[in-house]
């Protein structure tokens, strides 16, 4: 299993993306890609098969436990690279693994290149204003940006397993509950209508929601609305510290376009913006812009959509 | 309770200039306390108000990072430590230096960080710190509640809120939604310069060197947006926008 590329995520859907990244990287050097599997958690589909890590149960699988288990497996099998999906738990797992191995760590990479003396990853920095190439020696560990790689759905044969033994967790998980707002599925939405500070009062959000509904899209917002004003739950917050989205259409309504917001939506296919300020930075990140009062333009768009149908 | 709070002297991404060669001009770029680190300081202040104790702020960087340590002092931290690194440091090296400084000046019951720095946003330092110190870690905290023994903490993950209980000593990273950081008053800013701010050199700490990830190139992100401004009355503009989006095939 020398020089293999391993992939892992605690989230099944993300695990398929990371397996895609691992397959891509492994093909660069003609090595094997293996998906890590904790008895059904993060069910991977890597090109050359999977490695089942036995020991911790699904309920015990915190980032602390996962990192220790992967560390023990790395010591045993010496893979060249471990890729983990950049979810919040994944970021923790990678950082812990890097500290255990005493190696540098790539974070949130959207491209990977294997060089003889190390792994080079590209990532965004400075809230998306800069693309940085970062290099780390082998064994290399990295988190892979969500949505950056094609999902690998079907895996090869070949299942190996390794007993990592018992691992104690230093914190006690008391409970897990889904976040509120079941309607929020911004990550998979094809169209997102997003509201910002240009909205004068909370009640007016219904107008934006109604536009989103009419377009068959989901409602997002910039940080002030969820954080400072509390008009929407934080699950709607798109940005660096919120969620990252890349819909076909992103319509920014009354959003000035702070860098930290742009960082969360810059990979959208088409971006349109409505703002009263012609100098709003949001227009620089947009394909189409309308300078004007959203309270006039949004209803006009709704009428235009009705005529269209 | 003795609380350590970690703050980063981060390049202000909003003021970063791009050179004519397409590279960001990092030399001499304006830097200040990382935006989200103010939430970490604020949470430390709230815990101190509830439980008593002392807050020490830690930062790693060039001598210029004093400014950021002072910002934490102005917000209300009691003392500060600046670890002057020998050169550029990545997250593992930063965690390694902070861990050594914490051992030298501690012990601490709680070490509070933000979820990530506003410039690089990797979020690696807090879990690395916990590993290097060998203490429990709870990341992405949105609520911290003291118990008779230890703390109950709500972790904000993508789709889930996870509630955990952990004992001190403990490393915590907080999400920016956890609180609204206070602004220091002019008087607090002036008083901050009287608070103890210790400077440690990397060589004073005797930390075992660790490997690092190295930035090999940086380039400005090129925007490929069309930047079409649509004119006309609200009705006309809306009509044109809907037509344009239909042509793009996204409506």
Contact, A8 vs A70, CB < 8 A?
A: yes
- Specify whether the CB–CB gap between B139 and B110 falls below 8 A: no
CA angle, B227 as apex, B223 and B232 as ends, to 5°?
Answer: 165
Angstrom distance (rounded) from CA A222 to CA B229? 22
Alpha carbon B62 to its chain's center? 16
Strands (E), B147-186: 151-156, 160-166, 170-174
Distances (CA, A) of B91 to A112, A242, B94, B211: 19, 22, 5, 10
A47-56, A252-261, B27-36, B91-100: which range is least confident on average? A47-56
**For residue B174, what is the DSSP state?**
E
| Interface confidence (ipTM) of the complex | 0.91
Instruction: Tell me the CA end-to-end span of chain B in Å, nearest whole number.
Output: 57
Rounded CA-CA distance A112/A267 in Å is 18
Name the β-bridge partners of A192: A218, A250
Give the separation between CA A160 and CA A301, rounded to whole angstroms: 57
What part of A 152-171 touches B (C-beta under 8 Å)?
Answer: 170-171
pLDDT attached to residue A183: 44
Q: How confident is the model at residue A42 (pLDDT cuts 50, 70, 90)?
A: very low
- Assess contact for A127 and A260: CB atoms under 8 A: yes
Q: Is residue A160 classed exposed, middle or buried when 0-12, 13-18 and 19+ CB atoms within 10 A define those classes?
A: exposed
CB < 8 Å from B in window 56-75 of A: 63-64, 67
The answer to whether A259 faces chain B, any CB pair under 8 Å, is yes
A36: number of Cβ within 10 Å: 29
Q: Is the pLDDT of residue A41 over 60?
A: no
Dihedral sign for Cα atoms in the order A87, A89, A90, A95: positive
- Write out residues 185-244 of A within 8 Å (CB-CB) of B: 190-191, 215, 223, 226-228, 234, 240-241, 243
Beta bridge partners of A260: none
Confidence (pLDDT) at A153:
76
Q: What is the dihedral of CA B21, B23, B28, B33, to 10 degrees?
A: 160
Length of chain A: 309
Size (chain B), residues: 251
B151, β-bridge pairs: B146, B166
Whether residue B166 and residue A170 make contact (CB cut-off 8 A), yes or no, is yes
A46 pLDDT above the threshold of 80: no
- Averaged pLDDT, A29-48: 73
Position A182 scores a pLDDT of 47
- In A86-213, the DSSP E strands lie at 105-109, 111-115, 118-125, 130-136, 140-144, 159-163, 172-178, 191-195
Among chain A residues, the shortest Cα distance to B150 is held by A171
What sign has the CA pseudo-torsion B26, B32, B35, B37?
positive
Q: A107 at the B interface (CB within 8 A)?
A: yes
The answer to whether B51 touches B146, Cβ cutoff 8 Å, is yes
3-state secondary structure of B92: helix
Question: Per-residue pLDDT for A1 more than 50?
Answer: no
Q: What does the pLDDT look like over A111-168, one tens digit per residue? A: 999 999 999 999 999 888 899 999 999 999 999 999 899 888 766 667 888 999 999 8
CB proximity A132 to B under 8 Å: yes
* Cβ within 8 Å, pair A134-B140: no
Count other C-beta atoms under 10 Å from residue A215's C-beta. Answer: 22
CA–CA separation, A206 and A269 (whole Å): 25
Q: Tally the C-alpha atoms within 13 A of residue B224's C-alpha that lie toward its C-beta.
A: 4
The per-residue pLDDT for range B205-230, each reduced to its tens digit, is 988 888 889 999 999 888 789 999 99
What are the two backbone dihedrals, phi and then psi, of residue B119, each rounded to the nearest 5 degrees? -90, -50
> Tens of pLDDT along A178-236?
886 544 678 889 999 999 999 999 999 999 999 999 999 999 999 999 988 989 988 89
Q: What is the pLDDT of residue A58?
A: 73
With a cut of 80, say whether residue A39 has pLDDT above it. no
pLDDT tens by residue, chain B, 251 residues: 999 999 999 999 888 999 989 899 988 899 999 999 999 999 999 999 999 999 999 999 999 999 999 999 999 999 999 999 988 899 999 999 999 999 999 899 999 999 999 888 999 999 999 999 999 999 999 999 999 999 999 999 988 999 999 999 999 999 998 999 999 999 999 999 999 999 999 888 988 888 889 999 999 888 789 999 999 999 999 999 999 999 999 98
**What average pLDDT does the structure give for chain A?**
90
């Amino acid at each position: 299993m020398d020089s293999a590329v391993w992939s892992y995520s605690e989230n099944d859907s993300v695990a398929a993306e990371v397996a895609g990244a691992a397959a891509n990287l492994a093909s660069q050097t003609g090595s094997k890609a293996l998906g890590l599997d904790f008895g059904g958690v993060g069910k991977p589909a890597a090109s050359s098969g999977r490695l089942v890590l036995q020991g911790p149960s699904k309920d015990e699988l915190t980032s602390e436990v996962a990192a220790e288990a992967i560390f023990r497996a790395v010591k045993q099998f010496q893979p060249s690279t471990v890729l983990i999906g950049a979810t919040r738990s994944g970021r923790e797992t990678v950082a812990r693994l890097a500290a255990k191995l005493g190696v540098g760590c790539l974070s949130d990479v959207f491209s990977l290149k294997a060089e003889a003396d190390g792994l080079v990853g590209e990532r965004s920095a400075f809230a998306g204003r800069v693309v940085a190439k970062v290099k780390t020696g082998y064994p290399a560990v990295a988190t892979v940006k969500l949505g950056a790689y094609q999902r690998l759905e079907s895996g090869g044969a070949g299942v190996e397993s390794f007993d990592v033994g018992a691992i104690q967790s230093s914190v006690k998980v008391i409970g897990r509950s889904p976040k509120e707002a079941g309607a929020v599925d911004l990550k998979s939405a094809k169209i997102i209508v997003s509201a910002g500070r240009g909205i004068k009062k909370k009640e007016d959000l219904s107008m934006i929601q109604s536009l989103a509904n009419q377009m068959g899209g989901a409602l997002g917002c910039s940080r002030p609305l969820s954080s400072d004003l509390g008009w929407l739950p934080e699950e709607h917050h798109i940005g660096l510290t919120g969620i990252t989205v890349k819909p076909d259409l992103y319509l920014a309504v009354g959003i000035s376009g702070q860098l930290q917001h742009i960082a969360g939506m810059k990979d959208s296919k088409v971006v349109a913006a409505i703002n009263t300020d012609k100098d709003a930075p949001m227009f620089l990140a947009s394909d189409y812009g309308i300078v004007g009062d959203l309270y006039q333009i949004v209803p006009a768009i709704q009428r235009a959509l009705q005529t269209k149908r | 309770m003795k609380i350590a709070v970690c703050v980063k002297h981060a390049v202000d991404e909003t003021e970063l200039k791009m050179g004519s060669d397409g590279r960001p001009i990092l030399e001499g770029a304006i830097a200040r306390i990382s935006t989200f680190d103010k939430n970490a300081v604020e949470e430390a202040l709230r815990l101190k108000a509830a439980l008593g104790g002392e807050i020490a702020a830690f930062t790693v960087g060039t001598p210029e990072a004093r400014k950021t340590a002072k910002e934490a002092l102005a917000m209300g931290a009691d003392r500060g430590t600046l670890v002057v690194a020998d050169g550029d440091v990545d997250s593992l090296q930063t965690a390694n230096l902070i861990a050594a400084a914490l051992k030298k000046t501690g012990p601490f019951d709680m070490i509070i960080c933000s979820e990530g720095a506003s410039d690089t946003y990797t979020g690696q330092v807090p879990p690395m710190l916990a590993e290097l110190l060998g203490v429990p870690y709870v990341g992405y905290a949105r609520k911290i509640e003291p118990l008779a023994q230890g703390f109950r903490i709500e972790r904000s993950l993508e789709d889930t809120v996870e509630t955990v209980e952990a004992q001190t000593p403990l490393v915590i990273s907080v999400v920016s939604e956890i609180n609204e950081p206070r602004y220091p008053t002019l008087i607090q800013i002036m008083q901050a310069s009287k608070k103890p701010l210790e400077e440690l050199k990397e060589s004073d700490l005797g930390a075992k060197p660790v490997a690092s990830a190295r930035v090999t190139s940086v380039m400005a992100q090129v925007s490929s947006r069309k930047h079409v401004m649509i004119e006309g009355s609200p009705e006309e503009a809306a009509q044109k926008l809907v037509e344009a989006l239909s042509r793009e095939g996204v409506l």
